[in-house]
Amino acid sequence: SALSLALLACIALQSSPQPVCSLRPTVPANTETTAALPTLAELSMMSAEELAKQDLALLNLRAAEGLPGSDNLNVTEVLSTLDRWARKVKLDTDRNLYRFLQKPDEFNHSEAYYRMLMLVTVLQQDFGVHYNQERIKDIDFTRSQDLFLHGMVGSFNGGTCVSMPVLYTAVARRLGYPVYLVNAKEHLFCRWDAPGERINVEGTNQGMNSFDDLHYRNWPHPISTQEVESGHYLKSLTNAE
């Protein structure tokens, strides 16, 4: 909600409260990259089970290598930056968890909603993640920096609905969150998908919104029941997919 976003926007300006133990423990964001990163060719030979163990960000960056606009792409540096960003998200999320505990109604009574709102807020406000406004009307699929992670990490280019959900999902997984990518028609978003709680996360605008599946059945283009049942749209995607 707008109220929640406004509240979180003030966090950095206030003094640090005493930390509160999380209701759902998170995995420390210490997944530091190593030199032994598989190549695109090696990734393409992996089984679905093997791909499921790979970093989503690595898969994305390997696919970008060699494309126009990726001349200065350093995969190891980008992955290390994402590790650092995840640590900052975890720090701010844990430090401000008391806000959710005190006023859960401002976060839809959902810790998952609070955690994803914090994640999107920190990445946008602290690290400048934003939508490339030039791509709203001038779509250009020849620019890899508009479609892959390196356009938002170490670059002022910004992202699009193709790349921003991947960034949010890659950082969320570094924190142990059950977050997945989801296809709408000509759109991509991410979803917290765990037993008993499923939240769609829309972070391509300023701040975060959460819409139900019915919203994406009609936007940005209609999706028929047959298309949904066929598995093409609105399902949580695995790494292999």
pLDDT digits over 94-139, tens only? 999 999 999 999 999 999 999 999 999 999 999 999 999 888 777 7
The pLDDT, as a whole number, for residue 230 is 94
What number of residues does the chain have? 241
Mean pLDDT per 10-residue segment, the chain (241 residues): 40 34 37 71 94 95 95 96 98 98 97 98 97 80 90 93 97 98 96 97 95 96 96 91 86
Q: Estimate the crossing angle of helix 111-127 against helix 2-9, to 10 degrees.
A: 50
The pLDDT, as a whole number, for residue 221 is 96
